[in-house]
Amino acid sequence: MSARIFGSNHPLIAYLMAGYPTLDRSLEAAEIVFKAGADALELGVPFSDPIADGPLIQKASTVALRQNVSLRLVLDMAGRLSGSGKPIYIMSYLNPILRMGYAEFAAQASRSGVSGVIIPDLPVELAAEWVRTAWANRLGTVFLATPATSTPRLKKIAQNSTGFVYLVSVYGVTGVRDELPGYTYEFIRRAKSVVNRPLALGFGVSNPRTVSQALKAGVDGVIVGSLLISKLMDQEPSWVEVLANLESTVHALKQATSTTVPTEEGK
């Protein structure tokens, strides 16, 4: 399953919103992201009430919804990208999945070559049915933990996650940040002490410096989303130039996964 991206490699997982700016262009963007060196793709499903997402991803979701981009279309897109051989994770809020039904969604995701599923508003305490269904369809399940997550609950999240645990770096929603706060590094150390699965840090990882700092602090991989969405929102260049800027951004982020700089605490 999804654990194959971890090991000696520190994977860069790129987040894109399916259907932004259009379905076809989001497919092109995903292909560019893979070409530039991303090790995996987190493919967002547009949703009307994305409680964990900041303004950039909310805007991208709204645009995709106006074009009637559905969960089924996102799974079709995943199938078109599966030939890359790189893992694809579907990031969806629970409601679209419930509307389709666990069994049908899991079966179609598996047929589309999806490696795993991230459902940010599905608490681990209520996830037993989904976890069983995912396992039966050879899908990984990735649960999120935040700095507010208690240590006992963090252990439960790790026990039920397949592949890796998604660490949310900050209190609040997604967004571009120049630096990560000191408590992020304390959270990483605590998670490392109790979690026996790879850790990937997301929310606010927005430049090569924060990538390398996070890896030095002990996470195994990083997830970058809002920064990439912001590149797609640049209206001034041509689409060809937008893709070129996206490619160079991902390339620089990937290069940073092989270098480290001191954390703020270590200066």
Q: Read off the pLDDT of residues 172-186 as tens digits, 9 standing for 90 and up.
A: 666 566 778 899 999
The label of the residue with tokens 């090569």 reads 208
**pTM beyond 0.85, yes or no:** yes
Q: What are the structural domains, with CATH classification, of the chain?
A: 2-266 (3.20.20.70)
What's the pLDDT at 174? 67
Our CA angle for 135, 220, 149, nearest 5°, is 70
Of the residues 31, 42, 236, 241, which is catalytic?
Answer: 42
Indicate if 49 belongs to the active site.
no
Residue 53 annotated among the catalytic residues of the structure: yes
Range with the poorest average pLDDT among 21-35, 64-78, 147-161, 229-243: 229-243
pLDDT band at 33, cuts 50/70/90? Answer: very high
What is the Cα–Cα distance from 166 to 123, expressed in whole angstroms?
13
Residue owning tokens 């800027």: 245
Find the Cα–Cα–Cα–Cα dihedral 108, 113, 115, 116, rounded to 10°: -20
- What average pLDDT does range 150-173 have in this prediction? 91
One-letter identity of residue 167:
L
CA 9 to CA 243: how far, in whole Å? 26
pLDDT at 9: 83
- Rounded CA-CA distance 149/199 in Å is 15
Exactly one of 53, 178, 247, 265 is catalytic; which is it?
A: 53
Instruction: Kindly tell me if the per-residue pLDDT of 138 is higher than 70.
Output: yes
- At residue 176, the 3 state secondary structure works out as coil
